[in-house]
Amino acid sequence: MEKLLKPVEYAQMQGISRQAVYAKVKRGAIPSKNIDGKLFIIVEENQEASQNQQKNNNSKQTSNRKISPNNQNYSQIDYATLLEAKDETISVLKGTVKDLKKSNKQMSTTLRGEIDLLKDAFHEMRTMYVAQIEQVKREPKVEEDTIDVFAEASTETFREVVKDENVNVRWVSFKKFFKQYSIIQDEHKENLKRVLIESYEKGDKRVSYRDGKFQLNINEQFIDIFRLL
């Protein structure tokens, strides 16, 4: 009839360390069973009785040998037991080192993945900035003569000009702004929000606060804002 023993109980019965028991289980040297996540050693009851009898006999022999410390057989048995325990401990330690190496390799792989993501993010930002700079270069420059004409215009004419300019004002939310400039990284979005709100507080007319939320004039250029990031 089978009986289930805990590893520590089996170790005590065999006179070996608990680490040695786990090593034997890993090698398949002794039968075991996993119940609800706990390991148990399978032992036949007659085997357990035999082991207990052998243990008692060994204890008696050990007691007898203690009378003669110079007994050669006693020394050989002790050394054999110590060597077996040492070998089992070394086997367990080797398995632990192997598991640690595997964990370190997984961590290195994860770190390399994070570095690749950062590189992609920087490449995306650089591409966006280059596109903005090229767009600014293509825009026509305002001549000084044009500025003089506005300065000398009458009040009524100036109002008409402002009215015409307002036609080109198109206010959009942060969401549409990010979509317009192909900004998809959450971190980039949060940084841009922070910088744009700070610009609004400093009097930037490209940003407004309407109906309880911030809006941006999508027809304006924001290259200077991007350079602050």
Count the domains in the chain. 3
Rounded Cα distance, 188 and 179, in Å: 12
Same domain, 176 and 227: yes
Task: Let me know whether 26 and 64 are in one domain.
Answer: yes
Is 22 in the same domain as 72? Answer: yes
Residue finishing a domain among 95, 122, 153 = 95
pLDDT confidence tier of residue 171, bands split at 50, 70 and 90: very high
User: Is it the case that residue 146 has pLDDT exceeding 60?
Assistant: no
Yes or no: say if 211 and 173 are a contact pair by the CB < 8 Å rule.
Answer: no
Q: For residue 56, is pLDDT > 70?
A: no
* Position 122 in a domain: no
With bands split at pLDDT 50, 70 and 90, how would you rate the model's confidence at 69? very low
Shared domain check, 199 and 149: no
**In terms of domains, do 152 and 197 share one?**
no
Strands lying side by side in the sheet with 2-5:
2-5, 38-44, 32-35
Question: Helix H segments across the chain?
Answer: 7-14, 18-27, 45-67, 72-138, 144-152, 155-167, 174-180, 186-201, 223-227
The larger pLDDT score, comparing residue 133 to residue 161, is at 133
Bridge partners (DSSP) of residue 207 are 216
Q: Which residues contact 127 (CB under 8 A, 6 or more apart)?
A: none
Q: How confident is the model at residue 162 (pLDDT cuts 50, 70, 90)?
A: very low
Residue 176 lies in a domain: yes
Domain annotation covers residue 158: yes
Range of the domain at 187: 170-229
Residues 204 and 186 in one domain: yes
How far apart CA 204 and CA 198 sit, in angstroms, is: 9
Contact 22, 65 (CB under 8 A): no
**153 and 74 both lie in a single domain:** no
pLDDT given at position 111: 80
In terms of domains, do 77 and 155 share one? Answer: no
Residue 153 and residue 212 share a domain: no
Q: How far apart are CA 105 and CA 111, in angstroms?
A: 10
**pLDDT above 90 coverage of the chain, percent:** 21
